[in-house]
Each structure stands twice: as structure tokens, then as C-alpha cells.
């Protein structure tokens, strides 16, 4: 009896959407380099103050407006008060990055839930919720910030609330548009037929399927929030002493641009590189998550 030799092969394991997106993102050189630079900048800002010999408000009485020097230990120079600029840039990065992440997270949670509910229920609920969004759009951002500061006083947490209170508007419209296109799909109809509650349909079916454009928009929201915080601090409405941020340092540096240009160049370089990397990363995520390019 002749037996045919057969070879058993293991079934191919398909790549998940997240794994496929990660593979495509790594193929994008600019996005990969930007991701590495962002990680390095974040690590330096949060670990750097522990490695420098100077404290945030420590004054070097022998080095007022001292230029960058290795011998003095002030590698990025000092400010007009004799404080080490590099240390202050590190602490400023902590504030700017944390404001960006927290405010973006607030806008993400509020905007996604608000837009998903409006798009799913539609009709009068949608019209009422979107009219509220239109009213919020009509209020000037600076007016809202000044009003919050008058009522609650100046506080770092207030900056999170003020920025997050306006940034969720765009997020809600994006999610609403995605949900309107998804809620008539077959998997949603099947969930309805099985008696799945509206809450579970929104949270387990609609929001996960609309997350691609949301992730892309988040990468574009973070640099926008950093610029807003820098703008507020530049105007004196943001972070106050003894804390600092990149916006505060740039505001101080522009007054000393002729006599101490390093006070403007160093924080501006950190801010510019961070914003540039975030934009490149956003472009890379857009290409990686776009189903039309697969």
C-alpha cells in the first residue's frame, strides 16, 4: 500500500489592524525618526532636571546673562536672573508636554463620547447637540480663558480646563461624521437584532471603528495645544512663577534677543523640533491607518 506523503502546514496568522498599521508606520522614515526624537525630548525633559547640578530657581551670582559655556556648567547659558537656562527649559518642557497631553486627553474623551452620541441617536438629539457646538464655536477662546481666570483665579489646572474645553469641538464633529456613516452598517443592525443596548453599540462597535481618524487628529491636536499654551504664557495668562514653560521662556527671550540670543534660541529650538516631529508623526499615522493605501 502506497501512502502519499502530505505536509501539514500551520495556518497563516493574519496581521491585526494595529500590527499592520505599526508595520506601515515603521516604513515611513520621517515618522519613525520623529517618533524617536519625541521620545528623546520627553525623556530629556522629565529626567534632565535630575542630572543637572542646578535647581529651577537657583541663582548663580557669578553668571548673570552668561553665554553657553562648558567651564561654567551652564551648557545653554543663564537668564537675566542668573538661573541655568537648560534646567528651566527641561522644566518648561514638562509643563508644556503635560498640558498638551492632559488637555488632549480631556478633549478626546469629551469629543468622542459627545460626537458618538449625537451621531448615533440623530434627529432632534443630534440637532440640539450640534447647535450647542456651534454656540461654543462662536465664543472667542481668549474670552473664555479670561472669564475662567476671573472666576476661578490663576491655576495650572485652569489651563488644562480652558484648553480642553474648546479643543473637543472639532473632535466631536469628526466622530459624529464617522458614526453617521457607520450606524447603518450590517454589524450595527446585527447588534440591534441581538438586543444589544445602545450604550454597548456606541462604546463597543461604533467608537472602535471610528478610532482611526481620531488617532490622526490627536497627533494634530497635541502641537495645537502646545502652541495655545505657549501663546497664553507669552501673553502672561498662562504659567506663572515659579513654574515655567516653553512659552514663558520664549516670552522672556524675545526681550533679550539682542543681548542674550541664547535665551530665545534654546527654548524655541525645543518647541520647533517638537511641533515638527508631531506633524511628521501625524502624516505618518494618516498614511498608516488609511485603508485606501493598503
Query: For residue 149, what pLDDT is reported?
Result: 67
The structure's pTM equals 0.76
Distance CA 127, CA 124 (A): 5
In the predicted structure, residue 4 carries a pLDDT above the cut 60: no
Confidence tier at 251 by pLDDT (50, 70, 90)? confident
In the predicted structure, residue 5 carries a pLDDT above the cut 50: no
Please spell the DSSP secondary structure of 30-97, one letter per residue.
HHHHHHHHHHHHHHHHHHHHHHSSS-TT-B-TT-TTPPP-SSSS-TT-B-TTSBBHHHHHHHHHHHHH
Domain 26-50+81-293 classified CATH 1.20.1050.10?
A: no
Of 99, 36, 14, the residue nearest 284 (C-alpha):
36
In the predicted structure, residue 219 carries a pLDDT above the cut 90: no
Query: For residue 280, what pLDDT is reported?
Result: 86
In the predicted structure, residue 270 carries a pLDDT above the cut 70: yes
pLDDT in tens, 138-186: 877 777 777 776 676 667 777 777 777 777 888 888 889 888 888 888 8
112/144: higher pLDDT = 112
Of 85, 79, 78, 100, the residue nearest 48 (C-alpha):
85
Give me the mean pLDDT over the 235-243 stretch. Answer: 74
Give me the mean pLDDT over the 28-40 stretch. Answer: 90
**Cα distances (angstroms) measured from residue 244 to each of 122, 195, 230:** 45, 53, 10
Distance CA 37, CA 182 (A): 36
Instruction: For residue 95, count CB atoms less than 10 angstroms from its CB and return exposed for 0-12, middle for 13-18, buried for 19 or more.
Output: buried
pLDDT in tens, 126-141: 899 999 988 888 877 7
Give me the mean pLDDT over the 18-47 stretch. Answer: 86
The domain limits of the chain are 26-50+81-293
Give me the mean pLDDT over the 80-96 stretch. Answer: 89
Amino acid at each position: 500500500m502506497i501512502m502519499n506523503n502530505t505536509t501539514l502546514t500551520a495556518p497563516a496568522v493574519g496581521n491585526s489592524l494595529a500590527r499592520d498599521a505599526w508595520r506601515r508606520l515603521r516604513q515611513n522614515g520621517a515618522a519613525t525618526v520623529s517618533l524617536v526624537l519625541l521620545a528623546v525630548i520627553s525623556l530629556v525633559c522629565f529626567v534632565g532636571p535630575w542630572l543637572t547640578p542646578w535647581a529651577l530657581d537657583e541663582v548663580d551670582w557669578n553668571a548673570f546673562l552668561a553665554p553657553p559655556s562648558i567651564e561654567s556648567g551652564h551648557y545653554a547659558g543663564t537668564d537675566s536672573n542668573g538661573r541655568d537656562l537648560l534646567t528651566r527649559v527641561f522644566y518648561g518642557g514638562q509643563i508644556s508636554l503635560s498640558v498638551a497631553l492632559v488637555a488632549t486627553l480631556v478633549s478626546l474623551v469629551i469629543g468622542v463620547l459627545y460626537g458618538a452620541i449625537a451621531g448615533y441617536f440623530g434627529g432632534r438629539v443630534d440637532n440640539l447637540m450640534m447647535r450647542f457646538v456651534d454656540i461654543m464655536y462662536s465664543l472667542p477662546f481668549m474670552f473664555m480663558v479670561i472669564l475662567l481666570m476671573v472666576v476661578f483665579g490663576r491655576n495650572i489646572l485652569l489651563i488644562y480646563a480652558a484648553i480642553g474645553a474648546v479643543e473637543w469641538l472639532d473632535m466631536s464633529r469628526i466622530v459624529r461624521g464617522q458614526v453617521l456613516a457607520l450606524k447603518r452598517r450590517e454589524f450595527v443592525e446585527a447588534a440591534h437584532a441581538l438586543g444589544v443596548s445602545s450604550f454597548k453599540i456606541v462604546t463597543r462597535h461604533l467608537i472602535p471603528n471610528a478610532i482611526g481618524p481620531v488617532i490622526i487628529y490627536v497627533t494634530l491636536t497635541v502641537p495645537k495645544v502646545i502652541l495655545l499654551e505657549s501663546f497664553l504664557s507669552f501673553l502672561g495668562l498662562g504659567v506663572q512663577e515659579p513654574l515655567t514653560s516653553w512659552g514663558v521662556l520664549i516670552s522672556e527671550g524675545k526681550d533679550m534677543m539682542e543681548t542674550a540670543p541664547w535665551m530665545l534660541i534654546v527654548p524655541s529650538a525645543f518647541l520647533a523640533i517638537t511641533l515638527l516631529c508631531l506633524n511628521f508623526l501625524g502624516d505618518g499615522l494618516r498614511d498608516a491607518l488609511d485603508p485606501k493605501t493598503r
